[in-house]
Structure formats: C-alpha cells, structure tokens
Amino acid sequence: DGGITQSPKYLFRKEGQNVTLSCEQNLNHDAMYWYRQDPGQGLRLIYYSQIVNDFQKGDIAEGYSVSREKKESFPLTVTSAQKNPTAFYLCASSMKGPNYGYTFGSGTRLTVV
Amino acid sequence: RKEVEQDPGPFNVPEGATVAFNCTYSNSASQSFFWYRQDCRKEPKLLMSVYSSGNEDGRFTAQLNRASQYISLLIRDSKLSDSATYLCVVNTETGRRALTFGSGTRLQVQP
C-alpha cells in the first residue's frame, strides 16, 4: 500500500545534540513538507520541497535543515541551534502542489531531556 | 491578524445535534480550501475539500464565501466518533506553494 512513513515515532534528544527525523513516501508525490505542532496549537511550516534538489524555508526554519536528494525522501535535521525543539513533527506530501491537499505521516514526537 | 482564524472551542454537543464551525482567512487571493480532522495525538486527515459552489459528503457540508473570506463546516446528526479537532486549511500565499493551517476547533460529542 502507498503511504508516507515517519520514523522514529518517539525521539529523545539531549540538549546540544543534532537529531534527524526520517520521512519516506511511496506515493510518487512531487512535493513534500515539514510542519511542527505544539500542544493546543496549529501546524507551522518549517520547510517544503516541490522537486528533488530544491527546497524552501517556511515560517519557522531557523534551527532546522533539510535535504531532498531523492523524490521519496525528505529528512529533517533538528540542530542544536533550535532552542525549543520539543514538539510533534509532521511530514506531508502532495501531488505537485498544495491545491491537491496533503497526505500526512503519523508524526514524530521529539522531546529534549 | 492570523492568516487563518478559527474559534478554538471546545464545542460540547449531544449526540444527534447539528454543529457548525466557521473559519476566516486573510488573503483574498487564496485558491484552495480544506477541512482536516485531527484526533488526539494523531496526524491530521483530510475530511473534505471546499469548493466554491459548496459541497456535501454524507453528514458533512462545507461552504465557501469568498466575498466575506470565510469557510464553514456543518456536521449533522453528530456521532460520538465525530469528537476530534477540526482544522481549517487554506492555500494563502501566492507563490508559496504550501498550506496554512488554522489552530483548530475542538468538538466533543457527548452521549
């Protein structure tokens, strides 16, 4: 079955560490996105990519980095520069662009310990 | 002003009730509109797209009012399983090809 897979489901990070969240899709979607959700709040856009080897910053890109070397994969690195990284991270994909709506992965809960 | 605004609720309604949510958006050039449903600690799932002429899917009806820049979601005959947070989603920025999410309206259907 086609879908979008995020791993790990839960991640614990020590202060000062970089961590990478995985996002893989087999839907043949061109566009992929990363959002962050804090408790009781909406989703905020971190980065997005419309095609391989190209990506754009969203509203809260500081402290994060991404790569898009393959169509299927869009990993997100949370760097030590991100001062408040504890949140629920959601990856999504869509055909060509947002007008088609998104399919989401099941998310990664990151906690700083 | 937020790009997409929703009443956070919660809306507490009895089973069988009809409930309506509204959402306003700031960019008059917005092109695409959706309602997503998010269960507690889960990912959002697409409930329905919203079309200019309005559209219905079973007990759910979505309306778009471009002149007033709001969209609505009507749920008839509420079920316990409808309890969730409903997210209003808009493609707001010309040139930025990504969706903007409202903070969500929480619905609790009670027996």
Note the pLDDT tens digit of each residue in A71-98: 999 999 999 888 899 999 999 999 876 6
A58 touches chain B (CB under 8 A): yes
Helix/strand/coil for A99 = helix
CB pair distance less than 8 Å for B42 and A45:
no
The shortest C-alpha distance from B97 to chain A (Å) reads 6
Classify strands B19-25 and A43-51 as parallel, antiparallel or unpaired: unpaired
Average pLDDT value over all residues in chain A: 93
A105 touches chain B (CB under 8 A): yes
Partners of residue A103 in chain B, C-beta under 8 Å: 46
Query: What pLDDT does residue B52 have?
Result: 87
Residues in contact with B58: Cβ distance below 8 Å, sequence separation at least 6, in sequence order? none
CB pair distance less than 8 Å for B97 and A106:
no
Best of B32, B46, B85, B101 to disrupt the A interface (most A CBs within 10 Å) is: B101
Nearest residue of chain B to residue A89 (CA atoms): B43
Bridge partners, B71 (sequence order): B23, B64
CB pair distance less than 8 Å for B97 and A98:
yes
If you compute the radius of gyration of chain A from its CA atoms, what whole number of angstroms results?
13
A31-42 burial: b if 16+ Cβ within 10 Å, else e: bbbbbbbeeeeb
Nearest residue of chain A to residue B39 (CA atoms): A106
Query: What pLDDT does residue B93 have?
Result: 63
Its sign, for the CA torsion A78, A82, A83, A88, is negative
The shortest C-alpha distance from B24 to chain A (Å) reads 15
Among A31, A98, A106, the residue with its CB nearest the CB of B32 is: A98
Best of A7, A51, A102 to disrupt the B interface (most B CBs within 10 Å) is: A102
The shortest C-alpha distance from B46 to chain A (Å) reads 7
List, for residues B36-81, the tens digit of each pLDDT value: 999 999 999 999 999 888 899 999 999 999 999 999 999 999 999 9
Q: ∠ CA(A9), CA(A17), CA(A73), 5° rounding?
A: 45
List, for residues A44-77, the tens digit of each pLDDT value: 999 999 999 999 999 999 999 999 999 999 999 9
